Every structure is written in C-alpha cells, then in structure tokens.
Amino acid sequence: MEPTSSPKRTRKAEAPQGSRRPVVRPDVDGDPSLHAVAETFYRDLVWNLRNGVLAVTLDGRIAVMNEVAYRIFGLDPQASDIGRPYEEVLKDLPDVTRIIAGAFELSHLPNRAELRLRRTNRVIGYTLSQVRDASGRVTGATLFFKDLTRVEQLEERERLRDRLAALGEMAAVIAHEVKNPLAGIEVMAGLLKRQLADNQDALSILSDIIKEAKMANAIVIEVLDFVRPIRLQVEHIALADVVRDAVSMADSHKRRGGIQVSLAVPDDLPYIQGDPHQLRQIFTNLLTNAFEAMNGLGQVRISATQLATEEEVAVGSDVKAVPMVQLEVADDGPGVSPDLMDKMFSPFFTTKPQGSGLGLAIVRKIVDAHDGRIDVSARPEGGVRFRVTIPVTGNHELFR
C-alpha cells in the first residue's frame, strides 16, 4: 500500500517585516440608525472639545470648526461656514490660512508650534496634520490648537518677578544702610535738645530735624516692605472676617470722623486660599486712602460677590479654570482725574503732601502674589471704585 499523503496546510500570507497592519475602521454605513448616532456624537464631541479644531478638505473647504476655534479666532459661528472655502471664512486671519495651505505643500508639518494672531492678539499653540483615508490618500488637513495667551502672560509675570526680586535685593541693602544713619541722626538730635533746653531757636530746629528723620525712616520702612519678597502663609479664610478686621485696622490708622462704612459681604462666599494678614493689608490700605481723601465726610461701601464665570490661573505647574471672587471698595469722595488713574499703582507716585506713594504699589504686589488682579475706575456719581478679583484657589508655588 502506498502511504497516504497528509493534507497540505495552507499558510497565511505574512506581512513584510516592518510593514504596518491594515487599520480596521468601523463601518456604520450598513445601519442608517447607527450612522445617525455616530454623526450626532461626532459633532457634539468636536464642538465641545476644550481645544480649537479646524479641518479642511483637500479642495480647501471647511469640514469642521468648533466653538473654541471661533472664539479664539474672534469670529461668530455661522452654520453656512461648513462647506465654504476656508480662505473666505478666514479672510481676516491670513496667518492661519497660510498655515493651512502649508498642510498640502510641506513635507514636515509643524508640531507644537506657536503663533500670535494679529487679529485678536492671542497666542496659540498648534499642531498641523493631514487626514488620510483607508488607502492612505490625503483627503484633508486638521489644525488642533490651544489658547496660550494666559500661559504666556503668567510666564512674563514670572520673568518680571525675577527681575523685581533682583532689584528688590539691591534696594533692601540700600534702605538698610540708610536706616542706620537716620536712627543715629534722630538720637543725636534728641541729645542736643536736652543740652540746649534754654535755646528756643535751636530747639525748634532740632525738632524739625527729628521730625524729618522720622518721616525719612518711615519711608525707608515702607521701601523695605515693598521690595521684600512676599511669603504667603496660606490658610482657608472667610473674606467677611478679613474685611471686618480691615475696617477696624483702618480706623486705628486714620480717624474717619463722619465717614460711614457699609458692608455687603455675604457670609456664604467660598473660602479663599490666601494669607489673611496680607489680604487684610489690602483692604486696610484702600480704606485708609479713602478716609484721607474724604476729609471726614461721605460714605464708603465694601461689597463682594462670586463671579458667574471661572478664569484660568496657574495652579502649581498647570493652568486651570477656577472660581473667582470680586470685592469692591467704592467711595463718594473727590475722586481722581482720568490722567492719574494709570499711575496710581506706580511706586512712589502720590498726590498727598506727606505720602510715600507705596501704599497702592504694595496692594498691587499682594494681589499679584495671590494670582489676582486689581482695577480702579471713577464712579459716575463721584468718587473712586477699586475692584479686587481673587481666585478661590491660587498658585501654590507662590505660597511656599
């Protein structure tokens, strides 16, 4: 008998070494209901992404453009934009159209590049890629981008802090060296006063010397406070308590006379992560300035509210959207001329005969340390309004 031959086994064709396996793509065309669900989900997904998305077809027509892209570009969403040539829709953004055109011309597309939009002055970080079908043919291009304006501002603020820190160290040394001679002048003038008790002219001159030395010493102390780095001792604090303490402290610094202070700070505001001593100093300085400007007559109103929208702030090494609380200090005093508004927070700028011009500069420094902002404006009915906006959670790295 001849041996029976075993059946031959068929071997699967092996892909060449180094080649990619074909990508299996879902096919929903066979089921109309599944196709409709996928289309709806796809539109909702792209529209609600936190980054901007712009996709164009090979013939240069817009296929996708989500809400974030419209907002960053400074355009109003229009349903008719889909299917239109991107050069028409983005005619006011030539820098963007130039990037998209490069998607079909460049051999190496940019990844994690940055661009400042001239139309909106925003900075975006973007990635450009091509869209290919199942057979590998280019069918379009996509631009994914994120608004980096806030990140750039935070980086610039950090660079400014580094420069101010170096300047502050130098100013602190100078102020310390000046403080010692001033103390010596005051002590020696006091000794001379006791030795010349019968000479009224000399006593008058020595009294002026002591007065001026004390004033100069007070300015030196304020300079040291201004240039000294702020080390925040962070606690969870209630702003209502901070404001009430600030009113008491302002009363001890400057007699308010007939000035009425009204508070509208709800107790149910979210607790703030901040330094209670530094925050008290903010409102103490603002109230003291108001008392000095109003000459014992008028009203000061302090109000606070939680803003309806969140803002992006630095939290550690990341940028996150956090709730914001806004406090307002408004008075009905004589006000400030418009040409002086922009100078109010500048160091050593003052309209007071005996002022150092560092009070509001220190206030702004404390607000910056809490990653907030402060604005000043004239009230239509007269007086000045200060608005302090502070995040509920700030940058922990600044608090160390």
Residue 312: band (very low, low, confident or very high) from pLDDT cuts 50, 70, 90: low
- Distance, CA of 325 to CA of 328 (rounded, Å): 10
Q: Quick one: what percent of the chain has pLDDT higher than 70?
A: 77
Interval 97-142: pLDDT, tens: 988 888 887 767 777 788 888 888 888 888 898 888 888 888 999 9
Phi, psi at 303, each rounded to 5°: -130, 160
Residues facing residue 299 across a β-bridge? 260
- Render 263-295 in DSSP notation, one character per residue: EE--TTSPPEEE-HHHHHHHHHHHHHHHHHHHT
pLDDT at 352: 64
Tokens of 228: 């000294």
Could you give all domains of the chain from N- to C-terminal order, each with its CATH number?
A: 32-147 (3.30.450.20), 149-229 (1.10.287), 232-400 (3.30.565.10)
The reported pTM is 0.50
Residue with the bigger pLDDT between 34 and 114: it is 114
Interval 387-396: pLDDT, tens: 999 988 755 4
Q: At CA 294, angle to CA 266 and CA 279, rounded to 5?
A: 40
- Locate tokens 């057979």: which residue? 135
Interval 347-388: pLDDT, tens: 766 666 555 667 788 888 888 888 888 888 887 777 889 999
Tokens of 90: 């983005």
- Distance, CA of 301 to CA of 327 (rounded, Å): 10
Contact 78/86 with Cβ under 8 angstroms? no
Residues facing residue 384 across a β-bridge? 378
Which amino acid does the sequence have at 27? Answer: D
Residue 201 has pLDDT above 60, yes or no: yes
Cβ neighbourhood burial of 16 (10 Å; 0-12, 13-18, 19+): exposed
Contact 335/383 with Cβ under 8 angstroms? yes
Contact 341/378 with Cβ under 8 angstroms? yes
